[in-house]
Chain A
């Protein structure tokens, strides 16, 4: 008794193309204490990808080890206030092993009146 088997191998390829964001970390990175990269690696990454544009702030927090903040944000408002705000909101969603990418828009509203 004989039988014949036919076999074929196929590969399906899907490709998704999108633009690489520059810089990939946007405005803020919240680095967890057991995240795959730590502050020094983040420093190295941002220094290579976007020299002089980011600042690494190591912080004392139960689950967050450091923040990578775009320098221009810190020049728009008090750095400690900014960090407090990021930790307040970011701390709610971050955990020890994650790196959270955050987008932050600061709009300054100034209103002045002058004597005519």
Chain B
């Protein structure tokens, strides 16, 4: 469900010994057409040696005296969004993948960005649902409150049929932009599917409801470039936790999204703007029962 580093990492790893000379390292890099090598001592990775490190060191040196000792690594189960974040925060091009301190692969920034591109909706430029599952897990793991806004456009199927799909696409694109503009920076947005959008927030129910109402208002008052009038129905779940979460699993996020989705269907059916889901996460209930 969540794309992780193990899915894209290169497993064919070349490495170099701690006491190996830079000449050997240089030839390995050139022959393998790569730009950095893990330096291994007693089976464990102790540094990363790049072409840049080799160029700025005396050629007589050993790998141990030219490598970067302050390297950053990630476990293979890390999500691609987290990997991207780590690469950007540390201004890195490559990351070694370590499981139980054993080198199991390598990922590059380019590969991560290409893969994440597959999880981006080309029409709206928003991430797809995977992104929300990942961010939901991150929020749960950090002990934050989690609430979900499930936004569904009203009568979108009718618009597609009456005005054509290209007009429908214009609406989706502009709704995507509106949500991007109005969603606060501490929330996470995705196009969940068709005419459905999800905003994940670290807010309690009241604040989440307020945000949902603002988003509905922004859509309703927006003058779309094709002059069509659009309204939205919203379902909300979560944001009411009294105790600390005992379980941090993706199923909790899935349950929250599902509850919000059902609430949005109710909102649409009852012609209400916002409906708050009444149920709780099935997954958590069954796990704690």
Contact = CB atoms under 8 A, between A and B. Distances in A.
Interface in B43-72: 56-58, 60-62, 64-66
B57 A41 contact: no
Contacts of A84: none
B18 interface: yes
A35 B22 CA distance: 13
B224 interface: no
B58 A40 contact: no
A97 interface: yes
A40 B56 contact: no
Contact of B66 (A38, A44, A97): A38
Q: A interface, how many residues as a size bin?
A: 10 to 19
- Interface of A (DSSP majority class): loop
B58 A36 contact: yes
Given A40-B18, A44-B19, A34 B58 contact: yes
A42 to B, nearest CB: 8
A39 B62 CA distance: 10
A36 B60 contact: yes
A41 B58 contact: no
A41 B60 CA distance: 10
Interface of B: 18-19, 56-58, 60-62, 64-66
8 contacts: A34-B56, A37-B58, A37-B60, A37-B65, A38-B62, A38-B65, A40-B18, A41-B64
Interface of A: 34-41, 44, 97
